[in-house]
Amino acid sequence: MESVSFLSTLPALSSRPFSQPSLQFTTSRNFHVRVCCLARGEQWQMRRRDLVGCVGTVVGLEMIANYGKFTKEAEAADLIQRRQRSEFQSNIKGTLDKAIRASPDLVPAILKLSLNDAMTYDKATKSGGANGSIRLSPELSRPENSGLASALSLLEEAKKEIDSYSKGGPISYADLIQFAAQTALKKTFLDAAIRKCGGNEDKGRTLYTAYGSNGQWGLFERQFGRSDSPDPDPEGRIPQWDKASVQDMKDKFSAIGLGPRQLAVMSAFLGPDQLETETLLASDKDVLPWVQKYQRSRETVSQTDYEVDLITTLTKLSTLGQQINYEAYTYPVQKVDFSKLKL
């Protein structure tokens, strides 16, 4: 119970010609208000609008007094949701890693699947993008998506397992496809580290842990909560990468706000043979310096320039056309009924 004097906050009352009454408002946590008006020896009648103003002030201050409590509760709920999403995401990565390791030959197709799902984005209409529409047969059967059905089948099987342990609803294909690309990329980064250690897997893992790019995935992993499109994206938005000229590729990347740098770093996504793709890209004077930069970077111990730029580009592509739902996959926490506990 708290008692507060409000007279100093009410100029309409304090300027009245009669002697000032002593106003006290006593508030409690359930917003009950008690008004005491003492006119110090004379009668004084409070106008209705003055009373309403006073009550409004009481309620306002009561809300301020409880603001800290509300904020703490909101922060606690947010922390719970973040932990739920983090745990779910960790389990997803484990499932995808197991699936991809069992079919390493599908890595190029998984990378291309994520690229082609995202590259349908159209800036003018703000339609398309990383919305999982590539799962739909009218889109998957298009020439530019030839050979990607096996990669999608792998992810569909992984989705069944993921949905079986999800407490916050099934994972969207949009999230599944982009996180599969992340897992596939991590595998290529780790494999490169193992090769640099003469094929010794333990040393390669140690090398990747010490010099790898795991710490650069933060922004990508926060973009978790993509929604699926119920319809296929329009045709004609993606070139057939294996038949397109470098200029065609540059034009497509430019149409979504990317340039020669991003085109060069995404070479592994454009075809099964990265070196062959880079040889083609290097024939263009705008792309050549970036191809050379990333080839040099891959020869270093850490591959820092290559890995960081690739992660940054994938992160941007993976959110095209999306409004991320940052509460996706969260669920109510069951409260413990302490009255039923036997102590």
Nearest C-alpha neighbor of 333 from the set 79, 75, 80: 80
- 10 Å CB burial of residue 145 (0-12, 13-18, 19+) is buried
pLDDT in tens, 221-234: 999 999 999 999 99
At residue 27, φ and ψ (nearest 5 deg) are -115, 155
**How many angstroms from the chain centroid is the CA of residue 108?**
24
Question: What is the SS3 assignment for 200?
Answer: coil
- Alpha carbons 182 and 190: distance in angstroms, whole number: 12
Q: What is the pTM of this model?
A: 0.77
**Residue 108 reports pLDDT greater than 60:** yes
pLDDT band with cut points at 50, 70 and 90 for residue 62: low
Question: What crossing angle do the helices spanning 48-102 and 173-196 adopt, rounded to 10°?
Answer: 50
- CB-based contact 211:247 (threshold 8 Å): no
Return the pLDDT at 42. 43
Token reading at 61: 């201050």
- Alpha carbons 334 and 314: distance in angstroms, whole number: 37
Across the range 208-227, mean pLDDT stands at: 96
Return the pLDDT at 333. 79
Q: What is the CA radius of gyration of the chain?
A: 30
Give the DSSP H or E segment for 25. Answer: strand 22-27
Return the pLDDT at 41. 46
At residue 342, φ and ψ (nearest 5 deg) are -100, 115
**Residue 150 reports pLDDT greater than 80:** yes
pLDDT in tens, 3-39: 444 344 444 444 444 444 444 444 444 444 444 444 4
pLDDT in tens, 75-104: 556 899 999 999 999 999 999 999 999 999
- Alpha carbons 218 and 200: distance in angstroms, whole number: 28
| Strands ordered across the beta sheet of 2-4 | 2-4, 22-27, 33-38
Average pLDDT taken over every residue of the chain: 85
Q: Higher confidence at residue 210 or residue 49?
A: 210
- CB-based contact 185:267 (threshold 8 Å): no
Lowest mean pLDDT among 88-97, 236-245, 328-337: 328-337
